Each structure stands twice: as structure tokens, then as C-alpha cells.
Amino acid sequence: MRPQPKPTRIKLKGKALEALRVKLYESQGGRCKCGKPIPLHGELWGSHIHHKKRKGSGGHDNIENTTLRCAYCHDAIHRGLIDDDEPNNKNCMFCEDPECKNAECEDDY
């Protein structure tokens, strides 16, 4: 039996990737799933495109496989500290208080 060919992965670059970032930003109201407002651009503190299924595992650059995260949450997801499958992680990434809603820690960001 012959192995099945791999499906062609959707891989965006340049303006197309930026268009995806803007679409995600608008659909999420400019906020990370943790509730924190995130800037659209910025190398370190800007919005991070997170792939639910990693690109190395065949994940696509499309709206269904991506979400926009703040730098802290994106790092925490990849270190296994938070689960991206939750619809909305309200625990503050700064003080870890589930009641915080990030307002008290806003100045530390």
C-alpha cells in the first residue's frame, strides 16, 4: 500500500500573514483570550499569532487554526503552563489570581 501524499499546507507570508493578524485582532476585539488588550504590532509586546496545531505538525496559517495571544500567554502556552483549548483563560498571567481580570496588573505590562 502506497503512503498517502501530505496535504498542501496553507502557509502565509508578508501582506497575507499581516491580513490574518488584522482579521484575528478585529474578531477578538483587540484582546488576548486572557482578557488583556494587546497592541496589533510590536516585536516583543505586540500580538502573537498562535497556531492551535503547530505548523511543524501540518497546521495551517488560517483563521480556524490560529488565535492572537499576548506575549505572556503565548509563551505560557508553549511552556505548558496554560491550556489554549479553554474558551477564555481569565487567570491573570502576572499575579495568577483568578479574580484579578488583569486591571490591577495593567501597569506592570
pLDDT digits (tens, 9 = 90+) for 68-108: 998 888 888 888 878 776 644 455 555 555 555 554 454 44
State the pLDDT confidence band at 36, using cuts at 50, 70 and 90.
confident
d(CA 22, CA 68): 10
Q: For 57-78, what is the HEC assignment? A: HCCCCCCCCEEEECHHHHHHHH
State the pLDDT confidence band at 24, using cuts at 50, 70 and 90.
very high
d(CA 48, CA 43): 9
Backbone angles phi, psi at 31, to 5 degrees: -125, 150
